[in-house]
């Protein structure tokens, strides 16, 4: 029996394949593999067709590898690892690499496309060619008496063709197409062959037409391939649109036919014309370490980020110290043979730990409200004036630490209790016999021994709180805002909330490049924290490991 060593599962893998290869599991596996392959072939064709070689190639290699693992004999452990590894690769490893890549690009609002896509967008932009032949249509003006909205009806004198549309003020952004289908409205025919009303719009004539005559010229109707501009109360000029930008691949320049000038690409991923104007949209380019350089040298970004970093460290450290102090004190309090009802206490203490943090933080936000919150009400019974918990920078920081203590002390209590019960009591007793007082015993014996097993967890807790997004976002949203800062930043922002605001917050545009650059900085900080953690653990084990 011992010859058939248990550590040779490869051998057994072979038996398994023969014995169960026709079972239900086998067919399920084959069906899954077939489905995966079908989807992969489809995706491959799409990406390949779009010229996305990198994704297509990666996909092909990955799927071939998966097929190899499950179809080839003797791949043993890989069959169990592959599903998890695949997801780890696609949604963890690649995002890490991709984060690093984005951080050296200018990927941001206005620079989200590839160069080819940007050129395609620019080439599709129309302009009104002044040289093109113009056509004059008859114009009938309609107005909705309720809203005052106008409707133009264009009549081609020769063909009788009718185009209807809702105009826009000439100063407004051009719309894609302002025409409407008359057939969708209830049309009441009039005397002159034109409709008297179209839906809510009633034809204007006589005095009512003169009332709007002066402002008619400030309206424009967007047609699918041009514009229609009124040249009086009864005529309208239709101007054909034309392609404005023409790209010449051989010179890599874009010619602007509206202004008759050439536009050349710059290093920043935009076309810049001879007169210095920059065309939108641009495209993403690799800008090297410019994002990092800006973070480190540009005073407008560096200043806020240093403040954020300092508070981030204070917050993480303060959270660990406060929660651990309370948790350990509690564990020591309960560490007595005569203590009863510890189970009941623990069931209560587990509440802050069990309630999802975002829910309790929302609750705390209400409790800490300056005017109506229960905390200030409680304080007022002791004669303390209302505290501006969430609106004053210093108090907001204190509030965050207070709430995080509430959220985290249970965890520290649980791990401290676990560690306390596992250390032998002989040393403590011996020290007491030698005349040490309770504090000395704790300081010299119990605490160092606790730290052997708890230090790694405390460092883990520091790393967790360093990126504790939810508590900041839900309690203060990073606020109160620092008003004179050039980037959106608040007094309680930590790096991750700051990054989030820069990268995806609505309204200010998205700057993925700078956002990912800060993320990489966070990576470095985490690596430092973790390596300190590993080293610290080893050192403690060297000193106390023998005990």
* Binding of another protein by 133 (CB under 8 A): no
Q: Which helix (H) or strand (E) holds 465?
A: helix 447-466
When binding is defined by CB under 8 A, the residue of 32, 57, 73, 83 that contacts another protein is 83
When binding is defined by CB under 8 A, the residue of 283, 364, 395, 498 that contacts another protein is 364
Report yes or no: 66 and 36 within 8 Å, Cβ to Cβ.
yes
Task: Report the alpha-carbon angle 517-521-526, nearest 5.
Answer: 140
* Binding of another protein by 290 (CB under 8 A): no
* Binding of another protein by 411 (CB under 8 A): yes
When binding is defined by CB under 8 A, the residue of 356, 383, 424, 435 that contacts another protein is 356
Residues in region 196-235 near another protein by CB under 8 A = none
What's the rounded Cα separation, in Å, for the pair 389 and 372? 12
Closest to 419 (Cα-Cα) out of 365, 458, 389, 386: 458
* Residues near 534 by beta carbon (within 8 Å), at least 6 away in sequence: none
Q: How far apart are the first and last CA of the chain?
A: 40
When binding is defined by CB under 8 A, the residue of 33, 65, 485, 529 that contacts another protein is 529
* Binding of another protein by 68 (CB under 8 A): no
* Binding of another protein by 406 (CB under 8 A): yes
What's the rounded Cα separation, in Å, for the pair 245 and 254? 6
* Binding of another protein by 545 (CB under 8 A): no
When binding is defined by CB under 8 A, the residue of 109, 243, 261, 422 that contacts another protein is 422
What's the rounded Cα separation, in Å, for the pair 42 and 275? 47
Q: Which is nearer to another protein, 201 or 411 (CB)?
A: 411
Q: Which helix (H) or strand (E) holds 261?
A: strand 261-265
When binding is defined by CB under 8 A, the residue of 117, 251, 261, 333 that contacts another protein is 333
Q: Which is nearer to another protein, 2 or 214 (CB)?
A: 2
* Binding of another protein by 357 (CB under 8 A): yes
* Residues near 390 by beta carbon (within 8 Å), at least 6 away in sequence: 365, 368, 369, 370, 396, 399, 475, 476, 479, 480
* Binding of another protein by 98 (CB under 8 A): yes
Contacting range for another protein; rule: CB under 8 A; set: 14-22, 186-194, 201-209, 229-237: 14-22
**Closest distance of CB 525 from another protein, Å:** 10
Give DSSP secondary structure letters for 395-434. HHHHHHHHHHHHHHHHHHHHHHHHHHHHS-SHHHHHHHHT
When binding is defined by CB under 8 A, the residue of 19, 147, 297, 394 that contacts another protein is 19
Torsion of CA 299, 300, 302, 308, to 10 degrees: 140
Torsion region of 416: left, alpha or beta (phi above 0 gives left; psi -120 to 50 gives alpha): alpha
- On the CB side of 279, how many CA atoms lie within 13 Å of its CA? 29
When binding is defined by CB under 8 A, the residue of 124, 218, 264, 347 that contacts another protein is 347
* Binding of another protein by 492 (CB under 8 A): no
**CA of residue 413 relative to chain centroid, distance:** 34
Residues in region 256-285 near another protein by CB under 8 A = none
Task: Report the alpha-carbon angle 186-189-192, nearest 5.
Answer: 150
Contacting range for another protein; rule: CB under 8 A; set: 7-15, 217-225, 228-236, 252-260: 7-15
* Binding of another protein by 493 (CB under 8 A): no
Residues in region 436-475 near another protein by CB under 8 A = 453, 456-457, 459-461, 463-464, 466-467, 469-470, 473-474
Report yes or no: 466 and 525 within 8 Å, Cβ to Cβ.
yes
DSSP category for residue 18: H
Residues in region 30-49 near another protein by CB under 8 A = 39, 42-43, 46-47
* Binding of another protein by 318 (CB under 8 A): no
Q: Which is nearer to another protein, 229 or 459 (CB)?
A: 459
Question: 153-192 mask for another protein (x: CB under 8 A)?
Answer: ----------------------------------------
When binding is defined by CB under 8 A, the residue of 360, 446, 492, 501 that contacts another protein is 360
Tally of helices (H runs) and strands (E runs) in the chain: 19, 16
**Closest distance of CB 118 from another protein, Å:** 17
* Binding of another protein by 74 (CB under 8 A): no
* Binding of another protein by 330 (CB under 8 A): yes
**Closest distance of CB 519 from another protein, Å:** 6
């Amino acid at each position: 029996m011992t010859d058939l060593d248990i550590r040779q599962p490869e051998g057994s893998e072979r038996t398994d394949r023969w014995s169960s290869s026709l079972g239900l599991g086998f067919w399920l596996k084959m069906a899954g593999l077939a489905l995966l392959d079908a989807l992969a072939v489809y995706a491959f064709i799409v990406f390949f067709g779009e010229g996305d070689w990198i994704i297509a190639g990666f996909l092909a290699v990955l799927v071939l590898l998966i097929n190899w693992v499950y179809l080839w004999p003797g791949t043993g452990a890989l069959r169990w690892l592959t599903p998890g590894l695949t997801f780890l690769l696609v949604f963890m490893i690649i995002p890490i690499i991709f984060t690093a890549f984005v951080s050296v690009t200018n990927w941001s609002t206005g620079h989200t496309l590839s160069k080819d896509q940007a050129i395609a967008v620019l080439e599709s932009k129309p302009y009104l060619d002044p040289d093109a032949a113009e056509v004059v249509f008859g114009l009938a003006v309609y107005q909705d008496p309720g809203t005052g909205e106008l409707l133009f009806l264009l009549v081609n004198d020769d063909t009788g063709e009718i185009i209807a549309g809702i105009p826009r003020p000439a100063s407004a952004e051009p719309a894609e197409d302002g025409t409407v289908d008359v057939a969708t409205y209830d049309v009441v025919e009039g005397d002159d062959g034109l409709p008297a009303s179209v839906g809510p719009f009633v034809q204007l004539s006589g005095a009512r037409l003169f009332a709007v005559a002066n402002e008619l010229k400030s309206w424009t109707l967007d047609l699918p391939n041009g514009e229609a501009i009124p040249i009086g109360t009864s005529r309208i000029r239709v101007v054909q649109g034309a392609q404005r930008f023409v790209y010449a691949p051989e010179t890599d320049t874009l010619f602007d036919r509206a202004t008759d000038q050439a536009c050349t690409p710059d290093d920043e991923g935009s076309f810049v014309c001879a007169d210095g104007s920059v065309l939108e949209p641009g495209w993403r380019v690799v800008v090297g370490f410019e994002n990092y350089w800006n973070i480190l040298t540009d005073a407008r970004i560096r200043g806020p980020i240093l403040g954020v970093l300092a508070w981030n460290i204070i917050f993480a450290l303060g959270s660990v110290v406060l929660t651990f102090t309370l948790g350990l004190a509690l564990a020591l309090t309960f560490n007595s043979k005569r203590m009863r009802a510890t189970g009941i206490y623990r069931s209560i203490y587990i509440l802050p730990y069990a309630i999802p943090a975002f829910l309790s933080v929302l609750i705390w936000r209400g409790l800490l409200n300056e005017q109506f919150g229960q905390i200030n009400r409680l304080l007022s019974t002791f004669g303390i004036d209302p505290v501006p918990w969430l609106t004053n920078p210093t108090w907001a920081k204190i509030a965050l630490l207070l709430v995080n203590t509430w959220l985290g002390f249970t965890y520290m209590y649980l791990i401290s209790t676990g560690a306390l019960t596992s250390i032998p009591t002989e040393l403590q007793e011996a020290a007491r016999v030698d005349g040490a007082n309770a504090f000395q015993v704790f300081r010299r014996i119990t605490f160092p021994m606790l730290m052997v097993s708890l230090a790694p967890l405390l460092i883990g807790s520091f790393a967790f709180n360093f990126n504790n997004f939810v508590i900041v976002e839900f309690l203060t949203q990073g606020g109160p805002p620092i008003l004179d800062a050039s980037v959106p930043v608040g007094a309680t922002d930590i790096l991750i909330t700051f990054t989030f605001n820069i990268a995806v917050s609505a309204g200010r545009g998205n700057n993925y490049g700078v956002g990912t650059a800060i993320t990489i900085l966070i990576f470095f900080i985490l690596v430092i924290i973790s390596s300190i953690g590993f080293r610290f653990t080893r050192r403690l084990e060297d000193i106390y490991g023998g005990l």
